[in-house]
Chains A and B, each alone.
Chain A
């Protein structure tokens, strides 16, 4: 049953069942973006809790101008990036944004057998990873990413280009004959 205005009022009033319904409906997508932005599952779980507390705190300010999921998603991205900044990962990222060739090239000679794109993403530099997740998976524009990360639109495009180039290399085994996972036509079979 979809979350609706009545549930929203109850959730604002502190009704646990309404809050749980909201969480159940949106947690898979909200938590997914948190997980993708972090490369550490424990950290992602902690940040996810923070994200949900922020969503619940901000519920009274939700005006219904956009879909609830879109509104909550924006909170998730902001909160996650803030949390990453706090633990100094973004500081590193911001340096990387200027020149992340060290990290990306450092890895270029190594052979990764990434089983999935999720694992492959952990091999990206923090900057490239963030831009890739926000642009290619979450659908942000380069302008929006620039605002979020405090970089230029061109910087975002550059990061995305590097991210995709590296992912194509990291995921190459998916088209190798010896691979157990194949990309054929439109089919993509995720590893079990």
Chain B
């Protein structure tokens, strides 16, 4: 039996080095072990991570409010549930930048004595926004044409692109408050838009 040359052996080794091999275990096996050891903390830990960022919660609430109002006003020319001069018919990503501006119906930032007080005001505003949105969704039947469906679909597609862009940017700067605000605003607007598309004709509109 002949022997391989050094060169031939090197070729075989190179092929072995680059050979793709399947993992030795399935993920569920590894995950079960990791869960057993407390290394996987299920989805609650992700929520805990997010909730451990107070500014993230606040930003989410503010942007839900402002973004939602912007969507409503951009959709139909109705009086806003919250009289807010800072919000206009701009894309959701742009409205996110106005999150730091005080709402017209809310006290100015200078009037808050504490973070708790500001948070309470924020919660009230969000609650008012949600109730107003529900009321308008039920009682406003002025918009409901095929055109609005196309408009909502176009908006959803645009929001998808914005979401992808912000997610991509967040990979580089995961704790950047501005990027997170844009991301949250986009997500909120995306969900609201999906709901509008799903809503029966005649009930679309805030």
A residues contacting B by CB (< 8 A) are 4-7, 9-10, 13-16, 19-20, 23-24, 27-28, 31-32, 34-35, 41, 44-45, 48-49, 52-53, 56-57, 111, 117-118, 136-137, 164, 167-169, 171-176, 183, 186, 188, 190
Whether A6 lies near B170 (C-beta < 8 A) is yes
Whether B21 lies near A175 (C-beta < 8 A) is no
Q: Which residues of A contact B16 (CB under 8 A)?
A: 117-118, 137
B74 CB to closest chain A CB (Å) equals: 31
Report which of B12, B13, B14, B42 forms a contact with A174, defined as CB distance below 8 A: B12
Is B111 at the interface (CB under 8 A from chain A)?
A: no
Q: Which residues of B contact A23 (CB under 8 A)?
A: 23, 27, 30
Is B199 at the interface (CB under 8 A from chain A)?
A: no
B26-46, CB < 8 A from A = 27, 29-31, 33-35, 37-43, 45-46
Report which of B4, B33, B49 forms a contact with A53, defined as CB distance below 8 A: B33
Q: Which residues of A contact B170 (CB under 8 A)?
A: 6
Whether B2 lies near A28 (C-beta < 8 A) is no
Q: In the assembly, what is the distance between CA of A111 and CA of B130, in Å?
A: 80
Whether A45 lies near B4 (C-beta < 8 A) is no
Whether B4 lies near A172 (C-beta < 8 A) is yes
Q: In the assembly, what is the distance between CA of A14 and CA of B11, in Å?
A: 42
Closest to B40 in A: A16
Q: Which residues of B contact A174 (CB under 8 A)?
A: 4, 8, 12
Known: A13-B49, A56-B34. A31 touches B21 (CB 8 A): yes
Complex A-B: 18 CB contacts under 8 Å: A5-B171, A9-B49, A13-B41, A14-B39, A15-B41, A16-B31, A23-B27, A27-B23, A27-B24, A31-B24, A41-B24, A48-B23, A57-B39, A167-B9, A168-B8, A169-B1, A172-B1, A174-B4
B residues contacting A by CB (< 8 A) are 1-6, 8-9, 11-17, 19-25, 27, 29-31, 33-35, 37-43, 45-46, 48-49, 170-172, 174
Q: Which residues of B contact A32 (CB under 8 A)?
A: 19, 21
A27 CB to closest chain B CB (Å) equals: 4
Whether A183 lies near B174 (C-beta < 8 A) is no
Whether B30 lies near A183 (C-beta < 8 A) is no
Q: Which residues of A contact B19 (CB under 8 A)?
A: 32, 190
Q: Which residues of B contact A52 (CB under 8 A)?
A: 25, 30, 33-34
Q: Which residues of A contact B12 (CB under 8 A)?
A: 117, 171, 174, 183, 188
Q: Which residues of A contact B5 (CB under 8 A)?
A: 168
Whether A28 lies near B42 (C-beta < 8 A) is no
B40 CB to closest chain A CB (Å) equals: 5
Whether A49 lies near B49 (C-beta < 8 A) is no
Whether B1 lies near A45 (C-beta < 8 A) is no
Q: Which residues of B contact A5 (CB under 8 A)?
A: 171-172, 174
Q: Which residues of B contact A169 (CB under 8 A)?
A: 1, 3
Report which of B4, B39, B42 forms a contact with A56, defined as CB distance below 8 A: B39
Q: In the assembly, what is the distance between CA of A13 and CA of B23, in Å?
A: 24
Report which of A9, A27, A137, A171 forms a contact with B4, defined as CB distance below 8 A: A171
Q: Which residues of A contact B171 (CB under 8 A)?
A: 4-7
Q: In the assembly, what is the distance between CA of A9 and CA of B25, in Å?
A: 24
